[in-house]
């Protein structure tokens, strides 16, 4: 079995390297065949591993020793348990679908083979991340997915906006990584090991370990470590205030937005916190912070989604908001529900992105929703699957999103840690807003007046099967995954010992059936329905109302349009600030002070001294002779008198 | 075999120097082809022999190995005393490896005074190996100063427009510091009755002499590293130096200063080192943060990479003076890694400069369109410079941060800002140079790297990946010596 574990990431890596170096030689068809074969092998083997794990076969072992220093052995190794298995299946499945889809989406792109190489590399990195059995390898995967994300956001490197966005994404993520790395250093300091099993086992004994902050407060060590690790999660999973990179990441090709910036990479932070559940369970303070950050992200980003006009950006803000929901679940100690929502979200959000991509290619790379409309006849499969995705996203029963989202809301309702009350309100409002922006998209794009510039002559046709097949393949789990998984998740069977959490308090509704019954009478359901109806009224029935509302509440509208001004603030403070600081430090420190005064100043001083001393060396013999005589006289008289 | 084994260090020093003399003997540029081939031959031979050094190195002991000891200038007790431990072996390997790279780099580029150019690098190689293996204070000093001469010539003869200012600045800056070192060595002789560095380590010293000795060595070593505020010669020297000069300067010469702290300052004056650790850590942190900000606003690629070097060397000195195994080993790993990465980045700039004759960032833009293979390698090395895991740049930074955290979390936090700042200045440069639409006709007309350039960069790339993915052998090499050094650092000498 160990060989199988090893083969899963390596199949992707091998394919990526082969396509990367030989892609231009072997041609497009061979390139995508190799790439798809690689990820398909990974997917099939992941299924085998998942089945094996469900029978209780776990694995925790090293592959090789990376290094050793100061008594600490750093290894590269795998931890295969239920949590890993779920992530592996999700990652490889979505990746496989995106691979297939890419054949259609990138068909005319000159960077075709390069793209396949990158997504193969990404799948490898993501697998290394989720399969890690220690913090070092986790960090390796963490940074490697960041690298591929950087490369893919800037895939169209001639676009100024793309290469700005990828730099921004990398730097914002690095801010998170700074915290993450310090958290890892803290783990090593406190536990003397970076191995998950060792750390988790020792964690309860370290619960009372404290350190004294400079202000004199006593801090629980575990709280500090959890908060630092969570800063990393905030970067990768785009939580407020480190969320600013994700909307801009839409500069990358759409398959990437689906795979990396919706389904998998951005959920790495969620996965990481769930993996660290034995640590987070020991710190209520840390969980409280997690909860509130999540609530903030869930609500604020959903509201911004209401005013976006770029089809991809609507889905991007929706992703941010849903990541907020997952974070809320983590904060409420419902780690397995967070992973549950991560899973359902991976399916329906990848579906929505690929659907948006299908619209974009059908319209020859038009992304502005205001120029779309009435596409449901021309793109029936896209329309149908997008409806499925939106229903799942809005949490309408019996679609998958309903189960996971309802479970999150229930978990928050039962949570007792500080901030839970406000969070509950926020996630409820979020349900309404989510349904509103989701169906705003549907109605603007697929219903209403057919946009005048999109006449039949333009040839708006459904793309080929390589595009529609992944849509359908993702639509199926978007419908059924929730109903299938809800019982194993809520009963604690699915994740077994992989996640440490209290018994999930969601009342007695732990099976799909009871949850459905309960769901139709619950507040979230009616809020979602209200959202859908509002969208229908605003964007189908009374299409003039939205602009009226916008002008009536123009201050609010402008705040939302400016996305609360985070970008402007960061631009001003960090980008301009650091350049200003650097420029002035350089000009006054290096150029003026050190070089001007110290170095060249010394040189000038020596020069001036030499100018004076030069007169002593006149070259006239009688000067020297006189000097010698005077010296002799002084020396002799010295000896005589002293 | 036994002769080879017992005289390996001498051979590693004198073979390239002999090679340099022979290369010089080829005369003027009519025999340039001959000079090139000989240069390559001697550098490769030295590299292969240095591999022998590694293969026969005993990992279990911290004692000096491959020791050669014989009287040199009897009247002053000066000895020809060589030996290596786990700290110097990786540095010697770095030196011999990079000399080969530099010879390849200068192959077609240097068309004037070719023989002298290659000879200068061979001389320098010998002297550098000498610095890393000398165990006699005066012998060390001789190699240390001798190395200045070929470097001075390389900048002054093959350099850019402002080369004379840069060469003299470089020379005076480093000479000034090393004179104080000579005084310290003479003082240590008066105390220990020997010039042997190993004797220096054992000599008891009072606190005041220790502080003075530490400061005297600091004057020499801090200039070479370079540490803030005596770093301003480096950007000038790099900008004016030819590509090969920049590579050796950044990759090996800077390491000599850092090596000096390990071989002299810390074991000879451990009490002073502990006493002044606060100062050293502060200067290191200033280098990491202040210099990174300065690097951000540079308009000249070589200056930017030079400032980046200073910032990265801040991690090295930080790692030394927190006195912790991981930090110390991380710092040494950082020295090696920085040798590869900064060398590669300077080569990349050299590749562009050879084609466009400009180092200004603003002259470029969209290089990837005309030079895709080059862009791939450049982005790779940029990522290594940023310290991405899987590259060698990560190993040092990671271990130093881990080790420092165990001593003081705040220091580690300040040092870790390099994660953001380093990425900012490196990738912003990459964005402006490599990505974007084609900036002008000259960029559009660029030809991609040729096989020779590909090879030299690929070799460095392989080294970066090897150390990044499996630093085990490198760390293993230094365990015993680092343990011993940290023990010496704990000794109370007065």
How far is the C-alpha of A233 from the C-alpha of A534, rounded, in Å?
34
Expressed in angstroms, the distance from the first to the final Cα of chain B is: 45
Tell me the percentage of chain B whose pLDDT exceeds 90. Answer: 72
Which residues from chain B sit within 8 angstroms of residue A64, using beta carbons? 470
Tokens of A523: 């507040």
Mean per-residue pLDDT, A586-599: 80
- CA dist B183 and A617 (Å) reads 29
The single residue listed with the structure tokens 């930080």 is B318
pLDDT in tens, B35-57: 899 999 999 999 999 999 999 99
Residue with tokens 């959890």, as numbered in its chain: A226
Q: What is the largest CA-CA distance in chain B?
A: 69
Residue B412 to residue A174, Cβ atoms within 8 A: no
What is residue A500's predicted lDDT score, i.e. its pLDDT? 80
Enter the tokens of residue B305: 């990479």
> What is residue A63's three-state secondary structure?
strand
Q: Please, what is the average pLDDT of chain A?
A: 88
Looking at chain A, the whole-number percentage of residues with pLDDT higher than 90 is: 54
Residue B184, SS3 per DSSP = helix
Is 90 exceeded by the pLDDT of residue B433?
yes
What's the first-to-final CA gap in chain A, in angstroms?
A: 97
Q: What is the mean pLDDT of residues A362-382?
A: 86
Rounded mean pLDDT, A389-407: 91
**Tokens standing for B467?**
């150390």
Q: Which phi-psi region, left, alpha or beta, contains residue A70 (left: φ > 0; alpha: ψ -120 to 50)?
A: left
Report residue A338 CA to chain centroid gap: 15
Vertex A370, ends A365 and A373: CA angle to 5°?
Answer: 80
- pLDDT above 80 for A615: no
The CA-atom distances, in angstroms, between A295 and each of A219, A274, B309 are 25, 17, 43
Task: Report the percentage of chain A scoring pLDDT > 70.
Answer: 97
Residue A500, preceding peptide bond in cis (omega within 30° of 0): no
Across B448-469, average pLDDT: 94
Q: Residue A504 has what pLDDT?
A: 62
Q: Residue A188: helix, strand or coil by DSSP?
A: helix
Pick the closest to residue A260 from A304, A337, A176, A319 (CA basis): A319
Is a pLDDT exceeding 90 seen at residue B9?
A: yes
* Burial degree of A368 (CB within 10 A; 0-12, 13-18, 19+): exposed
- Which range has the worst mean pLDDT, A138-147, A614-623, B91-100, B227-236? A614-623
Residue A512 is predicted with a pLDDT of 75
Check whether A124 has a pLDDT greater than 70: yes
Q: Is the pLDDT of residue A339 over 90?
A: yes
Residues in chain B with CB shorter than 8 Å from the CB of A581 are 293
CA distance B75 to B167: 36
For B407, the closest chain A residue by CA position comes to A189
Distance (Å, whole) CA B327 – CA B318 = 8
* Residue A239 region by backbone torsions, left for phi larger than 0, else alpha for psi between -120 and 50, else beta: beta
Examine the predicted complex and report whether its ipTM is higher than 0.85: yes
The pLDDT of residue A559: 87
Could B329 and A189 be called an inter-chain contact, meaning their C-beta atoms sit closer than 8 Å? no
Using the predicted structure, report yes or no on whether residue A642 has a pLDDT greater than 90. Answer: no
Encoding tokens for residue A582?
């650097």
Query: Nearest CA to CA, how far is A77 from chain B (Å)?
Result: 13
Q: What is the pLDDT of residues A298-314, one digit of tens each?
A: 999 999 999 999 999 99
- For residue B242, give the 3-state DSSP assignment: coil
For the segment B166-219, what is each residue's pLDDT rounded down to a tens digit?
888 888 888 888 889 999 999 999 998 899 999 999 989 989 999 999 999 999
A568 contact B CB<8A: no
Confirm if A276 and A229 have CB atoms less than 8 A apart: yes
Which of A66, A70, A191, A597 should one mutate to test binding to chain B, selecting the residue with the greatest count of B CBs within 10 A?
A70
pLDDT tens sequence across A44-54: 999 999 999 98
Average pLDDT over residues A263-283: 92
With a cut of 90, say whether residue B339 has pLDDT above it.
yes
Q: Does B435 touch chain A (CB under 8 A)?
A: yes
pLDDT of residue A182: 95
- Which pLDDT belongs to residue A561? 85
CA A40, chain centre distance (Å): 24
What pLDDT does residue B18 have? 93
Spatial distance between the Cα atoms of A147 and A170, rounded to a whole number of angstroms: 8
CB pairs under 8 A between A and B: 144
Mean pLDDT of A575-596: 84
Q: pLDDT by residue (tens digit) across A75-105? A: 999 999 999 999 999 999 999 999 999 998 8
What is the DSSP-derived secondary structure letter of residue B143? Answer: H
CB contact burial B396-432 (16+ within 10 A = b; e otherwise): bbbbbbbbbbbbebebbbbbbbbbbbbbbbbbbbbbb
Q: Which two tokens mark A29? A: 């068809």
The neighbour count for residue A51, using CB atoms within 10 Å, is 11
Closest in B290, B469, B470 to A585, CB measured: B290
- Residue A454 confidence class, pLDDT cut points 50, 70, 90: low
pLDDT digit string (tens) for A221-271? 999 999 999 999 999 999 989 999 999 999 989 999 999 988 899 999 999
Mean pLDDT for all residues in chain B: 91
* Residue A218, strand partner residues: A212
pTM, whole model, 2 decimals?
A: 0.92
pLDDT above 70: residue A552: yes
- Answer yes or no: do B297 and A189 touch at CB < 8 A: no
Helix (H) or strand (E) holding B267: helix B266-268
Please tell me if residue B366 touches chain A, with a CB cutoff of 8 Å. yes
Other beta carbons within 10 Å of B49: 17
Q: Where are any strands of DSSP class E within A203-319?
A: 210-212, 218-220
Cα B98 from chain centre? 10
The verdict on B297 touching A (C-beta cutoff 8 Å) is yes
For B143-160, give one letter per residue: b (16+ CB within 10 A) or e. Answer: bbbbbbebbbbbbbbbbe
Assess whether pLDDT exceeds 70 at residue A577: yes
Helix-strand-coil split of chain B, %, nearest 5: 80, 5, 20
Give the pLDDT mean for B343-359. Answer: 93
């Amino acid at each position: 079995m160990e060989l199988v574990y090893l083969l899963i990431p390596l199949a992707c890596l091998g394919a990526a390297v082969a396509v990367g170096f030989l892609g231009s030689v072997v041609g497009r068809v061979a390139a995508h065949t190799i790439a798809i074969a690689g990820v398909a092998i990974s997917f099939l083997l992941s299924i085998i591993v998942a089945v094996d794990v469900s029978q209780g076969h776990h694995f925790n072992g090293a592959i090789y020793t990376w290094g050793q220093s100061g008594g600490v052995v750093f290894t590269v190794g795998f931890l295969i348990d239920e949590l890993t298995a779920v992530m592996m299946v999700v990652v490889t499945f979505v990746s496989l679908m995106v691979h297939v889809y890419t054949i259609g989406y990138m068909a005319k792109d000159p960077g075709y083979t390069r793209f396949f190489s990158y997504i193969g590399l990404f799948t490898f990195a993501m697998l290394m991340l989720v399969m890690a059995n220690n913090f070092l390898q986790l960090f390796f995967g963490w940074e490697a997915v960041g690298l591929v994300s950087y490369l893919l956001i800037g895939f169209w490197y001639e676009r100024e906006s793309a290469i700005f966005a990828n730099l921004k994404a990398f730097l914002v993520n690095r801010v998170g990584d700074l915290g993450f790395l310090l958290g890892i250093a803290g783990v090593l300091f406190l536990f003397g090991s970076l191995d998950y099993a060792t750390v988790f086992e020792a964690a309860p004994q370290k619960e009372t370990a404290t350190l004294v902050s400079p202000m004199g407060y006593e801090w629980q060590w575990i709280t500090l470590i959890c908060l630092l690790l969570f800063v990393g999660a905030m970067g990768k999973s785009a939580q407020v205030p480190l969320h600013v990179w994700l909307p801009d990441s839409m500069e990358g090709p759409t398959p990437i937005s689906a795979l990396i910036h919706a389904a998998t990479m951005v959920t790495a932070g969620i996965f990481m916190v769930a993996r660290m559940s034995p640590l987070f369970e020991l710190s209520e303070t840390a969980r409280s912070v997690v909860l509130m950050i999540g609530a903030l992200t869930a609500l604020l980003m959903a509201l911004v989604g209401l005013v976006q006009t770029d089809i991809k950006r609507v889905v991007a803000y929706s992703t941010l908001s849903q990541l907020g929901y997952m974070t809320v679940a983590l904060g409420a100690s419902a780690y397995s529900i967070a992973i549950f929502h991560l899973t359902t979200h991976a399916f329906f959000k990848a579906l929505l992105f690929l659907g948006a991509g299908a619209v974009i290619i059908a319209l020859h790379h038009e992304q502005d929703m205001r120029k779309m409309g009435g596409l449901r006849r021309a793109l029936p499969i896209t329309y149908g699957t997008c409806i499925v995705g939106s229903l799942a996203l809005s949490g309408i029963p019996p679609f998958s999103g309903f189960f996971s989202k309802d479970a999150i809301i229930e978990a928050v309702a039962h949570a007792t840690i500080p901030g839970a009350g406000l969070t509950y309100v926020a996630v409820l409002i979020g349900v309404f807003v989510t349904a509103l922006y989701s169906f705003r998209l549907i109605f603007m794009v697929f219903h209403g007046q057919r946009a005048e510039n999109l006449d039949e002559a333009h040839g708006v046709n459904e793309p080929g099967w390589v595009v529609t097949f992944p849509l359908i393949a993702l639509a199926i789990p978007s419908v059924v995954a929730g109903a299938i998984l809800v019982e194993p998740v809520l009963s604690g069977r699915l994740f077994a010992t992989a996640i440490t959490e209290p018994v999930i308090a969601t009342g007695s509704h732990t099976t799909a059936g009871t949850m459905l019954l309960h769901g139709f009478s619950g507040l979230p359901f009616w809020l979602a329905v209200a959202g859908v109806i509002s969208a229908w009224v605003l964007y189908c029935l009374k299409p003039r109302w939205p602009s009226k509302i916008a002008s009536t509440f123009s201050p609010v509208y402008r705040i939302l349009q400016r996305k609360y001004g985070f970008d402007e603030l960061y631009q001003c403070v960090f980008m301009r600030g650091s350049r200003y600081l650097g420029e002035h430090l350089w000009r006054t420190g290096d150029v003026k002070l050190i070089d001007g005064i110290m170095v060249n100043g010394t040189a000038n001083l020596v020069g001036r001294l030499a100018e004076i001393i030069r007169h002593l060396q006149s070259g006239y013999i009688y000067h020297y002779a006189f000097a010698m005589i005077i010296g002799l006289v002084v020396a002799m008289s010295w000896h005589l008198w002293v | 075999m036994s002769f080879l084994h017992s005289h390996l260090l001498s051979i590693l020093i004198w073979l390239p120097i002999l090679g340099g003399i022979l290369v010089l003997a080829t005369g003027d540029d009519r025999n340039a082809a001959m000079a090139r081939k000989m240069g390559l031959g001697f550098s490769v031979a030295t590299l292969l022999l240095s591999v022998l050094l590694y293969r026969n190195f005993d990992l279990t002991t911290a004692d000096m190995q491959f020791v050669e000891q014989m009287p040199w200038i009897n009247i002053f007790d000066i000895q020809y005393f060589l030996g290596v431990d786990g700290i110097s072996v990786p540095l010697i390997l770095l030196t011999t490896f990079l000399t080969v790279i530099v010879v390849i780099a200068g192959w077609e580029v240097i068309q004037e005074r070719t023989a002298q150019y290659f000879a200068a690098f061979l001389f320098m190689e010998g002297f550098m190996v000498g610095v890393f293996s000398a165990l006699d204070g005066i012998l060390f000093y001789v190699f240390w100063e001798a190395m200045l001469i070929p470097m001075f010539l390389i900048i002054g003869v093959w350099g850019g427009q402002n080369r004379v200012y840069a060469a003299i600045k470089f020379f005076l800056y480093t000479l000034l510091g090393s004179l104080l070192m000579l005084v310290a060595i003479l003082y240590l002789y008066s105390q220990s009755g020997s010039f042997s560095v190993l004797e220096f380590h054992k000599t008891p010293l009072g606190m005041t002499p220790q502080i003075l000795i530490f400061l005297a060595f600091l004057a020499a070593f801090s200039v070479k590293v370079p540490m803030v505020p005596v770093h301003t010669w480096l950007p000038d020297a790099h900008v004016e130096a030819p590509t090969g000069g920049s590579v050796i300067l950044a990759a090996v010469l800077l390491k000599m200063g850092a090596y000096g702290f390990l071989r002299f300052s810390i074991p000879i004056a451990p009490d002073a080192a502990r006493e002044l650790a606060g100062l050293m850590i502060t200067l290191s942190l200033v280098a990491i943060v202040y210099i990174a900000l300065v690097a951000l606003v540079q308009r000249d690629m070589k200056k930017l990479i030079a400032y980046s070097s200073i910032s990265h060397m801040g991690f090295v000195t930080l790692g030394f003076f927190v006195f912790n195994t991981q930090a110390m080993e991380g710092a040494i790993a950082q020295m090696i890694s920085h040798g590869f990465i900064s060398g590669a980045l300077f080569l990349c700039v050299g590749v562009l400069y050879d084609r466009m004759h400009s180092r200004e960032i603003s002259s470029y833009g969209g290089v990837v369109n005309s030079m895709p293979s080059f862009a791939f390698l450049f982005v790779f090395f940029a990522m290594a410079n940023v310290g991405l895991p899987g590259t060698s740049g990560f190993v040092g930074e990671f271990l130093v941060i881990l080790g420092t955290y165990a001593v003081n979390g705040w220091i580690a936090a300040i040092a870790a800002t390099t994660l953001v700042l380093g990425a900012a200045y490196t990738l912003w440069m990459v964005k402006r140079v490599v990505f974007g639409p084609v900036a002008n006709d000259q960029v559009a007309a660029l030809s991609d790297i040729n096989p020779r350039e590909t090879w030299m960069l690929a070799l460095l790339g392989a080294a970066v990946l090897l150390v990044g993915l499996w630093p085990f052998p490198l760390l293993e090499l230094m365990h015993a010596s680092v343990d011993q050094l940290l023990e010496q650092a704990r000794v109370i000498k007065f």
